[in-house]
Structure formats: C-alpha cells, structure tokens
Amino acid sequence: MEFSTNHLLKILNELPKGDRYLVAFSGGLDSTVLLHALAGLRERLSGGLVAVHVDHGLQPDSRLWAEQAGQFCAALEIPLIQQRLEIVPQPGESLEALARQRRYQSLAGVLLAGDLLLTAQHRDDQAETLLLQLLRGSGPAGLAAMPRIAPLGQGRLVRPLLDFPRSALEAYAHQQGLQWLEDPSNAQLQFDRNYLRHRVVPMLKARWPAADATLSRSASLCGDAQQLIDELVAEDLAAAEWCDGVLSMRHLLSLSSPRQRSLLRHWIRAQGAPLPGSRHLLRIERELLGSRKDAQPLVEWAGWQVRRYRDGIYLMKSLKPFDRATRIYWEGGDSLQLPAAMGELRCIDASQGISLDRWQASRVEVRFRQGGECCRPVADPHRRPLKQLFQQWGIPPWIRQRVPLLYLDGELAALPGLVVCQPFQNRPGEAALELVGEMPGYLRSLRQAAEQAPSSA
C-alpha cells in the first residue's frame, strides 16, 4: 500500500479529533515520515501540531540526535518538547521493556485532556508484536498487538500508520528527500524484537511474501475478539461486584471457567494491580473458589494479594506487618498517622459523633485489637464483644486486627468509620466530632462493607 499525505488525511478523518496533535518523534525513518506528512496537513488538523522527543540516554550520540531532532522541527516550524531519561535496569530486568515503559510514561506526562499522541508504528511493527506475543503465550488481548487507538495519560494514543508497510514509508522518505537517524541498537540481535525483524521475519516473507499483512490482519481480528470479551466481562463485573471492588464468590461460581478467568483478570487490572501469571491465576481459581466454605485462603504475587471471606473476594496490596500492642497517644492536632501504611485519622466537626467535651477533657489514645474488647453501640442496650460486632458487620478477619480503636481515658470510645460506643456519643445539641480515615482500600471501605456485606455465613 502506497503512503501519501492524502492516505494519511483519510485515516485521520476517521479518528477522533484532537485539541493538539503530539508526534512521538525519535528522528528515525518512521517518525520522520509521520511528522513531515503531518506538517503538510497542519492546516487541516483540528488542533496544533507539536513534536515530542524522548532521549533515553542509552547511546553515546543520543544528545546529538536530540539536537538534530530540534533542527528538523525548526525547519518545519513545529514546536518541540524534549525530555531526557535516565534508565538503570535492576538485575534481571529487561532493558528493552524498561526503556519502552519509561518512554510511554514520559510521553503520557505531557498529554492534556483532548490531546492525541501519534506514534509511527507500521504494519511490520504490528506483525513483529504479534509474533512476540505468540512466543510469550499471550491470549487474545496480547495477540491484538497494538490497537489503533488507546487511552494514555489524560489523552489518547493513536497509531495512524498500521496499514502501511515500512517499505512504503521508506519510498515516501526518498521521494521527499528526507534524512533520518539510524539507531545502532536496532541491529543488536540480543533484543527479541530485533532478532525477529532481522532473522525470523525475512525467512517468513521468503516463504509467505504477504506475511506482514496477514499477521497484521490476525492481530486486528484478535482485537475484535478481545473487544467482545471486554464487553461481556464488563457485564459480568457489574453483576459480580458488590462492594467497592469486592467480588461475589457466588456469582463467580455461576460462570464457566474461561469467564471466571477473564473476569478475574479484568477486575485485577481495574484495581491497578499487576496481572498474575497463569500459575497464580490457577491458584486463585482452585484455592479461593474451590476451598471449603469456612476457609480463608490467600494468594499473593508481586506485592499484592487476594483473599476470601464469606461471599467476598478481596484484592489489596500485601499487608505490612505491625505490632498489635502498639499504642499511639494523640497529643493534639487534627490528624494522627497510623503505622504499617494504614493511613491516618482526621478529626472533623459533625452533628453526630464523639462528644467534643469528652474528647477535649480526656487523654486520647489509639490501640489495636488484643481480644476481649467490648462496645455498646448507640441504641443498643447491651455491650457487645468486638468479635460479635465484626461478624455481624461482615468485616474480614485480616482487617479486624488493623481497625484502629479509639480510647478516651483508657475506655473504648469508638471504632472510626464504624461506630461510637456509649457513653461517648454526643447528646442532642452538643458539639461533636467525627473521625475519618485516609486509608488504604481495605480499610477505607469499612463503612460500606458493614452496610453491604452479605449475610451468608
């Protein structure tokens, strides 16, 4: 397929309009062609045209490349944003993957709402990405390779050149007399993509000349399949989620195994956690969904964990150890920091809550559950053990020991976010304060969990 500004304009007209069009400009062939062609179309774009150059600092000549990128943009009268990265991989970490991750993070940081970031990946790149994902054992989401449009930062990432082979871009560059940079790392075969590009793909094309086109088409079909899966999973998630990211095991068990796995992946990704590998996902299925009803299974990976209590499946960052014997005296001020990354408590004025007079006249202390504590909630004629109240409210056991307990002069006065104990509730017309927490998700949802927890044992 021949590349021209007319072809590019047709593709852009089928895409969302942008307030700004930012081009990820490395100075290589592909991005040079894209930026040059867009410069010829700038009067027909819905927003301004800007180039963004990211210097990875991985090559000795990278600063020179940044200067040449500036000269090219100046000749086209296109504003240029330049960013420099310092990339130091940890032992065992892929430099190739880390550089890509940091590059997109850097590009996302310059996007505003309504911006489009245009990158110059083409049909050959799409074919290579599909092959990489196949070799990694990816499912439909990975085999969809690079989507034409995807969210990025506050804006959107757009790949308008996926229909064009690299040969078409090179022909355009020669016709226009363009010069571009050649990154020597592109020839280094220790990188997986380079090995595919220089060794594997030429062999495939020798036997199947249209391999890049057919592989790209397969990626597109996988993208369509993944979209259908995403729509189905969104419906499943809406039905299965009963409390601020907590899933109903009963609903999960009503689904087939493939739908269970798809729902779990979607749910984990939506919570901002890294996806578990197939081994951990299988453990979640077997241990959380397949264990006995009174079990409290735990599956942990990459600093995150999934637990089950009653009908609820919980996802959270791994809990940090702390000493439950810790006592924290509130010496004044409107906030108190809690240990073990459990956030903080803050005092706010309220119409109902802890009596302000009692608070001001008492020594205020935060403790954690040791066992045997009791509280008489408002409108309850009896003192109740916290164990009984926690069971009544459906608070999971691993959360119970981390619920801050507020003591006034040595007496349990409140469980912030849950209940005020008598006689510390303010009387009608009396000033009061409420304790609110800026805490991790598993504590932040206490009130909601108490109100919505399933009653099943």
Give 260-278 pLDDT, tens digit per residue: 999 999 999 988 899 898 8
Q: Which residue has the tokens 């999973």?
A: 233
373 vs 416: CA distance, rounded Å: 15
Q: What type of residue sits at position 154?
A: Q
Residue 247 has pLDDT above 80, yes or no: yes
Best-predicted range by mean pLDDT (138-147, 244-253, 405-414): 405-414
Exposed/middle/buried for 41, CB within 10 Å: 0-12, 13-18, 19+?
Answer: middle
DSSP assignment, residue 425? B
Alpha-carbon gap, residue 211 to 209, rounded angstroms = 6
- The answer, yes or no, to whether residue 407 has pLDDT greater than 90, is yes
pLDDT attached to residue 272: 87
Taking a C-beta distance cutoff of 8 angstroms, is the pair 142, 133 a contact?
A: yes
Fold classification of 244-317 (topology level): Chorismate Mutase Domain, subunit A (1.20.59)
DSSP state of 109: T
At 408, list the tokens: 């006034």
The pLDDT assigned to 377 comes to 92
pLDDT in tens, 347-395: 999 999 999 999 999 999 999 999 999 999 988 899 999 999 998 888 8
Q: Give the per-residue pLDDT at 57.
A: 67
What percent of the chain lies above the pLDDT cut of 90?
A: 66
How many other C-beta atoms are found inside a 10 Å radius of the C-beta of residue 283?
19
Q: How far apart (Å, rounded) are the C-alpha atoms in residues 271 and 444? A: 14
The predicted model gives 319-332 an average pLDDT of 91
Res 439: pLDDT: 53
Record the tokens describing residue 88, joined without a space.
């130091």
Lowest mean pLDDT among 129-138, 151-160, 429-438: 429-438
**Are 384 and 340 spatial neighbours (Cβ–Cβ below 8 Å)?**
no
Average pLDDT over residues 101-115: 92
Q: What is the pLDDT averaged over residues 169-197?
A: 90
Contact partners, residue 348, CB within 8 Å, separation at least 6: 433, 434, 436
Band the pLDDT of 65: cuts 50, 70, 90: confident
Residues 49, 82, 160: CA angle, nearest 5 degrees: 40
Q: Regarding beta strands 405-408 and 411-415, do their DSSP bridges make them parallel or antiparallel, or are they unpaired?
A: antiparallel
| Cβ–Cβ < 8 Å for 254, 279 | no
pLDDT > 60? residue 456: no
pLDDT digits (tens, 9 = 90+) for 207-233: 999 999 999 999 999 999 999 999 999
Map out the domains of the chain as residue ranges.
5-213, 244-317, 328-452
CATH architecture of 5-213: 3-Layer(aba) Sandwich (3.40)
Q: Residue 350 forms beta bridges with which residues?
A: 432
Among 3-7, 65-69, 117-121, which is the least confidently predicted range? Answer: 65-69
Query: Where is the binding site, in residues?
Result: 26-31
Nearest CA to 415 among 367, 356, 349, 352?
Answer: 367
> How sure is the predictor about 448, in pLDDT bands with cuts at 50, 70 and 90?
low
Binding residues for ATP: 26-31
Say whether pLDDT at 438 is over 70.
no
pTM recorded for the entire structure = 0.74
Q: Is the pLDDT of residue 451 over 70?
A: no
Asked if residues 281 and 137 have their Cβ atoms less than 8 Å apart, the reply is no
